[in-house]
């Protein structure tokens, strides 16, 4: 007889792993026990060696659907006789700290949804129905091991019927920590000045939405503001109250048939929409688009998701709406509201009514967002449904322990422990103090549930004035850790390379802004990355940014700056007064001020940003000259170009200066203006302009690849969310005989900078 002592690490708590082990041990006629220990699972089994081997083999292949095993440690011991008479599930223990983590929240499974819709089931229309295969995980966990008493569900003692299911190893709700029913679970209520008397808060909320009202809807990981997406008056009123004049709103529809009434859905997009992770998927609008024009104004696409909680499914039961607007309930730049009092006070004057419940949200978690480029999925935001599932960095190093704090905008942070990199949910803009506080709370919580109490390294952006940089310095001093300052685009590139398992690459890093190692603003870079090192081999032409950040909000300033190299002051005044005065809040006086700034060099910075050049093209074509949300001008430029046939072509010039290749973006802008003067179609010019920038970046990358002998070229940074630019770069590089890689399981934008920082920490300190 033999005994096997097994430690299983990975996503193995809160996913029905212990009951699956129980059933497997019963089938293989073994005795022993299974229990949660720390954030791993311990199994002791005894019996014949052949049966133990069968058990271990099946353990890896017959695991629950939402579990993920990262490591299995097995120690065998020969024994004289069996120590156990049967197999049992023991109480959890905190004595061991492995490298596992709590799984992400997942959408309501078909079995639970069937119960919700079954009139004869005791959970009929109960919106908090969940089991081991679905429901909240990360958003309710307080500490490990993951048991009900360490979640926000501990405030809802199970009734007799639920307890019977909870204690039965053969039931799918065995130790389903979020399980409950109408007798013992959270309760919903509708609020306006006071709790409203109604037998069915969800049905009443649906009636109010049909009347054009706006409702704050507290869900699983945060709060949404909701209105009918086919009611233009309601959508415009929501915009007015939020102060978001043009930012596209995400929508939720009850099913795919409803989505196809206003958007085009491919097979791959359908698969992701219906997946248990349920992200927002950015889809192209259809010709029969039937939603309010104000949902995603000026864009050819729209963000859409399917219901992922019982709350959503029940809400749609009471309406014929093809879609609801479901946008995060927070003022711009602030974190999502999750506490009932904060929701009511913070959204006073924005929401007409509040559909709330009494379960605490421990970890707020925004919706994930993806889009497809050339048939391949790309993350725009990796959050609910994915975070904090780890990336495996053991192929680089398994020794270093690090906290990586990302940049400033679209921040995530990462905790690196024993080769596992846990990337947080979306945090947001940490220049806002409330969001910065959210970051600090989230760091403390993720370090706690991953068992990280010591750090070797704290990584941050190179920018000296980011709050995340100051926070990194504080943590490093407190925990006696090394501090690692990482150049922004190098971090982007390392995340891309890790995502594609390449060690050396010519990386095109194209985005809005990143602090360069020369103290200037970068954003259109050609980097040769190998191991922990990089060299800057090319960039866009440095352009002047009059007024600094003002030039990002009013890109007509960038346009004026670029054209200022080729026109005198009087010519500039004439052009901008005639064509673009509406983009300058103070009219001619402001135009004169900008011209004088450029002449004197006062409050003028330099930037190689791709985003700023694309913004300038957008302003030049009168597509968008004032940014009201992040990426607005380039997104609207992409949508304008989407309508083009593509018959115009703008040539570009790459030259070599001071040891690097330079793309002449001024020349591209001059040709844009020339085509505009000649009366060419604006959509065609938009297409030609962004294609010239894309192919110019690609040519510099190919030249760098020839110089270095590197065969792999990649694209990273927020510009690569643009499908047309991504495909133009890819096709150019492929025609030249090189392979092209893009992000697959990480974000092209700033959401994966912390992952890149973790990769560098592993390379340098592992």
Answer yes or no: are the C-beta atoms of 429 and 512 closer than 8 Å: no
Q: Which two structure tokens, joined as six digits, stand for 159?
A: 């009734």
Contacts of 545 (CB under 8 A, 6+ apart): 521, 551, 552, 557, 558, 561, 604, 605, 606, 607, 612
Put the strands of the sheet holding 40-47 in their side by side order.
Answer: 68-78, 2-11, 40-47, 31-37, 87-89
Among 241, 239, 246, smallest CA distance to 297 is for 246
Answer yes or no: are the C-beta atoms of 388 and 446 closer than 8 Å: yes
State how far the Cα of 311 lies from the Cα of 203, in Å rounded to an integer: 11
Catalytic: which of 3, 18, 173, 278? 18
**Does the CA dihedral 160-42-395-421 come out positive or negative?**
positive
Q: Three-class SS of residue 743?
A: coil
Q: Check whether the bond before 567 is cis (ω within 30° of 0).
A: no
Answer yes or no: are the C-beta atoms of 174 and 132 closer than 8 Å: yes
Contacts of 580 (CB under 8 A, 6+ apart): 556, 559, 560, 619, 622, 625
State how far the Cα of 69 lies from the Cα of 632, in Å rounded to an integer: 41
State how far the Cα of 72 lies from the Cα of 632, in Å rounded to an integer: 47
CB atoms within 10 A of CB 327: 23
Catalytic: which of 23, 35, 36, 573? 36
Among 417, 415, 424, 422, smallest CA distance to 381 is for 424
**Does the CA dihedral 591-549-280-441 come out positive or negative?**
negative
- What sections of 318-432 are H helices per DSSP? 340-346
Answer yes or no: are the C-beta atoms of 410 and 751 closer than 8 Å: yes
Answer yes or no: are the C-beta atoms of 669 and 612 closer than 8 Å: no
**Residue given tokens 């133990």 in the structure block:** 52
**Active site annotation includes 18:** yes
Cβ-based burial of 197 (10 A; exposed 0-12, middle 13-18, buried ≥19): exposed
DSSP classification of residue 37 = E
As a whole number of Å, the end-to-end CA separation of the chain is: 41
**Active site annotation includes 36:** yes
State how far the Cα of 383 lies from the Cα of 503, in Å rounded to an integer: 27
For residue 263, the cross-strand partners are 285
For residue 302, the cross-strand partners are 283
Cβ-based burial of 539 (10 A; exposed 0-12, middle 13-18, buried ≥19): buried
State how far the Cα of 717 lies from the Cα of 489, in Å rounded to an integer: 8
Q: Which two structure tokens, joined as six digits, stand for 546?
A: 């009059």
State how far the Cα of 63 lies from the Cα of 58, in Å rounded to an integer: 8
Answer yes or no: are the C-beta atoms of 73 and 13 closer than 8 Å: no
Q: Three-class SS of residue 568?
A: coil
Answer yes or no: are the C-beta atoms of 323 and 251 closer than 8 Å: yes
Estimate to the nearest angstrom the gap between the alpha carbon of 624 and the chain centroid.
25
For residue 411, the cross-strand partners are 428
Residues annotated as catalytic are 18, 36
């Amino acid at each position: 007889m033999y005994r096997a002592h097994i430690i299983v690490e990975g996503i193995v708590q809160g996913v029905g792993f212990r009951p699956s082990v129980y059933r497997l041990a019963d089938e293989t006629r073994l005795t022993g026990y299974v229990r949660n220990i720390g954030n791993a699972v311990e199994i002791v089994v005894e019996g014949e060696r052949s049966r133990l081997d069968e058990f271990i083999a099946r353990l890896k292949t017959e695991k629950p659907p939402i579990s993920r095993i990262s490591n299995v440690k097995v120690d065998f011991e020969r024994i004289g006789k069996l120590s156990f008479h049967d197999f049992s599930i023991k109480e959890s223990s905190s004595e061991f700290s492995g490298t596992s983590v709590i799984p992400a929240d997942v959408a309501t499974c078909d079995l639970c949804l069937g119960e919700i819709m079954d009139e004869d089931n005791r959970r009929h229309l109960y919106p908090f129905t969940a089991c081991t295969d679905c429901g909240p995980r990360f958003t309710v966990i307080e500490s490990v091991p993951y048991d009900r008493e360490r979640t926000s569900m501990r405030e809802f003692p199970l009734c007799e019927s639920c307890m019977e299911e909870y204690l039965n190893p053969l039931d799918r709700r065995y130790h389903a920590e979020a399980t409950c029913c109408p007798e013992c679970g959270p309760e919903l209520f509708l609020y306006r000045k006071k709790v409203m008397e109604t037998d069915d808060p969800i049905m009443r909320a649906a009636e109010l939405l049909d009347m054009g009202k706006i409702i704050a809807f507290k869900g699983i990981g945060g709060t949404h503001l909701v209105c009918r997406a086919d009611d233009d008056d309601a959508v415009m009123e929501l915009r007015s109250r939020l102060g978001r004049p043009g930012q596209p709103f995400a929508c939720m529809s009850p099913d795919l048939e409803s989505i196809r009434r206003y958007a085009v859905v491919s097979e791959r997009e359908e698969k992701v929409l219906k997946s248990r992770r349920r992200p927002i998927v950015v889809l192209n609008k259809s010709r029969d688009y039937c939603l309010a024009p104000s949902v995603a104004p000026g864009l050819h696409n729209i963000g859409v998701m399917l219901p992922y909680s019982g709350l959503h499914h029940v809400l749609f039961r009471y309406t014929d709406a093809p879609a609801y607007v479901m946008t995060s309930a927070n003022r711009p730049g602030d974190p999502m509201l999750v506490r009932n009092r904060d929701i009511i006070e913070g959204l006073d004057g924005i929401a007409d009514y509040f559909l709330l419940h009494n379960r605490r949200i421990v970890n707020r978690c925004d919706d994930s967002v993806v889009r497809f480029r050339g048939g391949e999925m790309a993350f725009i935001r990796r959050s609910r449904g994915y975070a904090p599932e780890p990336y495996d960095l053991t192929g680089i190093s398994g020794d270093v322990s690090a906290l990586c704090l990302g940049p400033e905008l679209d921040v995530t942070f990462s905790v690196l422990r024993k080769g596992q990199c846990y990337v947080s949910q979306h945090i947001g803009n940490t220049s806002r103090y409330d969001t910065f506080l959210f970051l600090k709370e989230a760091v403390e919580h993720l370090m706690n549930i991953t068992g990280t109490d010591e750090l070797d390294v704290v990584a941050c952006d190179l920018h000296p004035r980011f709050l995340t940089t100051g926070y990194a310095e504080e943590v490093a001093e407190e925990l006696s850790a090394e501090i690692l300052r990482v150049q922004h685009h190098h971090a982007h590139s390392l995340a891309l390379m890790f995502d594609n398992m390449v060690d050396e690459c010519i990386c095109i890093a194209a985005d809005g802004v990143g602090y360069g190692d020369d103290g200037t603003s970068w954003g259109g870079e050609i980097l040769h990355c190998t191991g922990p090192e990089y060299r800057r081999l090319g960039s866009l032409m440095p352009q002047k940014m009059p007024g600094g950040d003002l030039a990002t909000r009013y890109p007509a300033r960038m346009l004026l700056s670029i054209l200022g190299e080729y026109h005198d002051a009087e010519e500039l005044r004439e052009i901008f007064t005639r064509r673009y005065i509406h983009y300058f809040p103070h009219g001619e006086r402001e135009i004169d001020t900008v011209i004088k700034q450029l002449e004197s060099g006062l409050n003028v910075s330099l930037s190689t940003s791709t985003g700023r050049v694309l913004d300038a093209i957008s302003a030049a074509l009168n597509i968008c000259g004032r940014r009201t949300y992040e990426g607005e001008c380039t997104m609207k430029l992409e949508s304008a170009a989407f309508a083009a046939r593509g018959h115009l072509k703008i040539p570009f010039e790459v030259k070599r200066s001071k040891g690097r290749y330079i793309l002449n973006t001024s020349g591209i802008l001059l040709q844009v203006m020339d085509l505009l003067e000649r009366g060419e179609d604006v959509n065609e010019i938009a297409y030609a302009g962004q294609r010239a920038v894309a192919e110019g970046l690609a040519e510099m990358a190919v030249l760098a690849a020839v110089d270095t002998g590197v065969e792999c070229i990649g694209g990273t940074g927020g510009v690569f969310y643009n499908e047309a630019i991504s495909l133009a770069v890819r096709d150019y590089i492929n025609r030249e005989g090189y392979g092209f890689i893009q992000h697959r399981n990480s974000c092209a934008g700033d959401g994966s900078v912390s992952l890149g920082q973790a990769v560098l920490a592993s390379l340098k300190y592992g």
